[in-house]
A and B are shown apart, each in its own frame.
Chain A
Amino acid sequence: MKVDVDEELCCGSGLCVVNADQVFDQREEDGTVVLLTGDPAPELHGAVRAAASVCPTSAIKLVE
């Protein structure tokens, strides 16, 4: 699975962090998403899919 994020679309909700904090973080100064790894381990794939699906602005792009 390859993961990418669109910082322009991101509204800073942090729901990605809640779902998969080993893959996503938030910038301290404005809460915008920070991608920790674009190639997460298989055991994290479920959590990453959940994060992508709850993101309010569909800012997480997955290629499986």
Chain B
Amino acid sequence: MTTTGHEVDNYPFGAATKLELHPRYAQARRGAGLLRVRMPFGGEAWLATRHEDIKFVLADPRFSRAATVGKDVPRTFPVSSAGSTLLDMDPPEHSRLRRIATKAFTTRRVEQLRPGIQANVDELLDRMVESGQPADLAASLAWPLPITVICNLLGVPYADRGSFRAWTDTALGLAADQYDEILSARQQLSEYIAGLIAQRRVQPTNDLLGALVVARDNEDRLSEEEMVQLGMTLLIAGHETTASQIGNFVYTLLSQPGYWAQLVADPQIVPAAVEELLRWVPLGASGGNGGVRIATEDVELGGQTVRTGEAVAVVVASGNRDDKIFDHPDEIDFFREHNTHVAFGHGAHHCLGAPLARMELQLVIATLVRRIPTLRLAVAAEEVPWRAQRVTRGVLALPVSW
């Protein structure tokens, strides 16, 4: 017991295994909902497990991300927030910075990318099929597709993917003894983006990095540091999350009987299936990996009082299984109506890349269903290897045949 009179769980409750959710979340949702936890770094925080509380924390302006910058706040990752990055800002500064990038992710703009992304998917599948089976779907499709798309969008050279993928992987580590490596990887990413920006000051480009340089040099809409960090955010978030989810989704569809067949029989349901997989698949290794929010005044939440200065983390994967919102929440059901999942978050920091992520996920799944309807795992599901000690869950390889 602590001085607050609450029981305190150690958090995360356990190591993330495959796509399994720890039973403590369901228990929490049935009980108090808002738990008190001890983070691996920085001390204690509140943990929101219910859909309603999660949406509230993510949307209410009294919960601040900017208040975490430069402080040893409770967190699941060793290196604390640096500032100058979208996720470390509050409105109105946040809105100012975000609006520079939203132009590239409007519904209309992303729709224009459809034919190009379809062509990318087809080309990668051509190569995978030509190389014969079994194939590693992670290496052949899950990683190259989002990397190709974000490289085209940003103007990052595809040839550099070995480097930036490795730096990203290290930068998203969770282990305490990786502190220096994580800082170093962030530094290398920062220098890499700065180098690409410097090229655009000599030779302007029409890509998104070029647009950021114009916003800075011609319009003074963001600082040098904000520009570099925004470029980094777009590169990291633009490939790592989508690549992980492609692997997670195909694994889920192939490892549990019936789901793949449903899609093959009725490809029209692929968009709804993607939404349901977004809901069901826990992408985060735990909650709080986006960072906690700090209460700037006392706030009533889930029947408790969060005091000024206290930290709150959310677990979107838990909110996505809340039986107050979703019937039979632990089952995958492609025919749910009103699938109000919070996989992309909520509030002002709602995933900027969501339209692009949805486009990529829909095209990958729809194309696999259409072109390789006999797709199956080439090994037993238990033999698929998984990443460990990273902010997101993902397969290390996905051996498939057809």
What CA separation (Å) do A56 and B352 show in the bound complex? Answer: 11
Other-chain residue from B107, B108, B340 in contact with A54 (beta carbon distance below 8 A): B340
Is B301's beta carbon under 8 Å from chain A? Answer: no
Contact B354 A13 (CB under 8 A): yes
**Interface size of B by Cβ–Cβ distance < 8 Å?**
23
Which residues in window 80-109 of B have CB below 8 A to A?
92, 95, 98-100, 102-103, 105-108
Is A58's beta carbon under 8 Å from chain B? Answer: yes
Contact A11 B103 (CB under 8 A): no
B-chain residues with CB within 8 Å of residue A58 when the two chains form the complex = 59
What CA separation (Å) do A9 and B94 show in the bound complex? Answer: 11
Which residue of the partner chain B has the closest CB to A31?
B102
Contact B102 A12 (CB under 8 A): yes
Report B293 CB to chain A, min CB distance, Å.
15
Is A29's beta carbon under 8 Å from chain B? Answer: yes
What CA separation (Å) do A41 and B342 show in the bound complex? Answer: 29
Is A22's beta carbon under 8 Å from chain B? Answer: no
Would you give 26 A-B contacts (Cβ < 8 Å), ordered by A? A9-B348, A11-B349, A12-B98, A12-B99, A12-B102, A13-B350, A13-B354, A13-B355, A14-B105, A14-B107, A14-B355, A17-B107, A18-B107, A26-B107, A28-B108, A30-B99, A30-B102, A30-B103, A31-B102, A50-B338, A53-B340, A54-B340, A56-B59, A56-B348, A57-B59, A57-B350
Query: B interface vs A, CB < 8 Å?
Result: 59, 92, 95, 98-100, 102-103, 105-108, 338, 340, 345-350, 352, 354-355
